[in-house]
Amino acid sequence: MDGAPAWDGTERWWPAVTTWLSCVPLVVAGWLVPLPVFGYRAAAVGAVVAAVLTLAALASLSWRTRLADGVFQVGRARLPVSVISGVDPVPAAQRRAALGPGLDARAHLAIRSWVPSAVRIHLDDPRDPTPYWMVSTRHPERLAAALRAAAETTKAAT
């Protein structure tokens, strides 16, 4: 590693600022649509409802990755580190090729467009046909090192 701090075990993928800003017209529409028919009170309620629904939708896009207790979790998907056979960081420059012509159709994808880099987690589980997971991360080198260390520790313990 390049002297960067170790991965702290968790990461949240909040949507990009531009995504949040693109939702402002929804709140404005929540205000404007009821205004001519129902008045200002209904318009205020419409704007608040639109804002709450928009925030809820954006919050649902903000998955969290977590590595703890021998399990790597991305959103609701869980992967025991004991089945990890290798981890490759996928820098932003190589991500497009990894998700295009280099993608195996059986792979599990946990990708967000606003997170520029990823890791490819190779699996060795005879019961699962998934060859690897491709997971977005802002710190591919740190996450790869943490997953490798967790997998090695788990395999050494067994």
pLDDT tens, 34-74?
Answer: 999 999 999 999 999 999 999 999 888 888 899 988 899 99
The answer to whether 92 and 99 are in contact (CB under 8 A) is: no
3-state secondary structure of 115: coil
> Is 6 a residue whose pLDDT tops 70?
no
CA–CA distances in Å: residue 56 to residues 10, 53, 75, 89, 99: 21, 5, 16, 31, 28
User: Which band of pLDDT confidence, cut at 50, 70 and 90, is reported for residue 5?
Assistant: low
